[in-house]
Amino acid sequence: MLKSLARGTEMFLTGPETGLMMQPALRINGVSHTFGTRTALDRVSLTVPAGSFTALLGLNGAGKTTLFSLVTRLYDSTSGQIEVFGFDVRREAPAALSRLGIVFQARTLDLDLTVRQSLLYHAALHGIGRRQAGVRAAEVLEKFTLVDRIDDKVRNLSGGQMRRLEIARALIHNPALLLLDEPTVGLDVEARQDLIGEVRRLVAEGRGILWATHLLDEIQMSDRLVVLHKGRVLSEGSVQEVLAQAGSPDLQVAFISLVNASGTKAAGQEAAE
């Protein structure tokens, strides 16, 4: 049985808390966000079940990064509710965010730190003691095959190694939910496939994964899928359910059909107004 160890306000997880698995990893309900007069997200609702791989599929500019910024409290949503394992990210931020790991599309590594320093610094931000942080660092580096680079400067890593380090860093406090925003951008084919495989293996540990992408070949038939376009959720469910909604057995055709249908619907609404 997975266990959690707590000391005062510090919590270190040896695996996702068993009780958490009764709640969705992420629940977003009716969330909107604007930048000036531009609506970036319009009443977005979606669910990421615990222990699942959920793909958030959308073109560039669909609102994926904005949504991630709202979940992590970089932005405050103007409406709706966001919960991480039942904890509201606004009213119960410490409990919600401690169970969340994030990898943004833009690199956020300090190139002058070593791999070890990068992980230990991030662990300290989460209140993990140095001894326990060392244990966790060894575990995540082993998982992402970076043990032999532990004392190398980050700037000396390849692009794929940097991305794996960012994921390892996001897992240092052992969150039960991991968000990844276009994590394979800039990687070659081999590095991209290796990374996808490594992240998918995290689901077997009971983690919920929300994987934002614009690439159809990163989605498997067994995944849960959310289609986001121009700030609106067009479809959500299993891949088979999304295909059925679009009326096509081909994911590319289905995606284009959903996008085109949303444009026709929007044009009709504007005409009615």
The pTM score is 0.88
Is a pLDDT exceeding 70 seen at residue 226? Answer: yes
- List the domains of the chain with CATH numbers: 33-109+175-261 (3.40.50.300)
User: Is the distance from CB of 91 to CB of 32 less than 8 angstroms?
Assistant: no
pLDDT by residue (tens digit) across 13-68?
445 555 556 789 999 999 999 999 999 999 999 999 999 999 999 999 999 999 99
Distance CA 45, CA 31 (A): 7
pLDDT by residue (tens digit) across 71-111?
999 998 778 999 999 999 999 999 999 999 999 999 999 99
